[in-house]
Structure 1
Amino acid sequence: MKYNPMDMMVAWMKVASSYNMMMLSAAEVIARRTMMMASGAMTAPEAMGMVMEKATIYATASERAAVAAANGADPARITAAALKPYSTKTQSNVRKLRS
């Protein structure tokens, strides 16, 4: 399948932008959770959720990437499909930890 180079460039720029926003959110989540652990304020459910969310998000991201690939999506869209669950979760964690 042939892709228009400009369309691909735009698609990869969107992926890069989403990735950067996700990484900023993840850094804030890590900082806030580290402060909670250091001060003894982290609850057991928060600690367990912190561990369990990794496997859940990985499975969801893998599934979305596989579905996108099976539907013939281009590499940028497959990557975006895999990135979306991580972005959603990190943004959710930031909102929860800020309150």
Structure 2
Amino acid sequence: MKNNPMNMMTAWMKVASSYNMMTLSAAEVIARRTMMMASGAMTGPEAMGMVMEKATIFATATERAAMAAASGANPARITSEALKPYSTKTRSNVRKLRR
């Protein structure tokens, strides 16, 4: 059951769907922040947070992927675990910037 090709296909489809949603959110964040920069509305803390979040998310994603790999997870699960911090942060940024 664990190596069923349909299960793996479903797992990869979920990863692809999550990735697509994350990229749409990221595109919106980039557009909104670009407009903030162009109009002079971006604050210092927002700019600093924009830079610092990259390293923090990368470290978290790497840790989650490593933990999944160490526990023997399949490649789709490892990818999903690595993607989660990015997805969470982009959704959070979209919500914050829409206000």
TM-score bracket, normalised by the shorter chain, equals: over 0.9
What's the C-alpha RMSD, in Å, of the aligned pairs?
Answer: 0.8
Partner of 1:69: 69
- The sequence identity of aligned pairs, in percent, is 86
Structure 2 SS opposite 1:63? helix
Task: State how far apart, in whole Å, the 1-side matches of 2:6 and 2:50 are.
Answer: 39
Secondary structure, counterpart of 2:65 in structure 1: helix
* Aligned equivalent of 1:31: 31
Offset of residue 81 of structure 1: 0.1
Residue 70 of structure 2 aligns with an amino acid whose one-letter code is A
Q: Offset of 1:52 from its aligned partner?
A: 0.3
Structure 1 segments of 4 or more deviating over 3 A?
Answer: none
Deviation, structure 1 residue 24? 0.2
1:3 Cα shift? 1.9
Distance between the aligned counterparts of 1:83 and 1:39, measured in 2? 32
Q: TM-score, normalised by structure 2?
A: 0.98
SS at match of 2:61: helix
SS in 1 for 2:35: helix
> What is the total number of aligned residue pairs between the two structures?
98
Which letter does structure 1 place at the counterpart of 2:45? P
Deviations 1:12-47 (A, max 9, x none): 000000000000000000000000000000000000
State the alpha-carbon separation in 1 of the partners of residues 3 and 58 from structure 2.
Answer: 28
Distance between the aligned counterparts of 2:32 and 2:47, measured in 1?
13
Question: Structure 1 length as normaliser, TM-score?
Answer: 0.98
Unaligned runs of 5+ in 2: none
Three-state SS of the structure 2 residue aligned to 1:76 is helix
Q: Tell me what 2:21 maps to.
A: 21
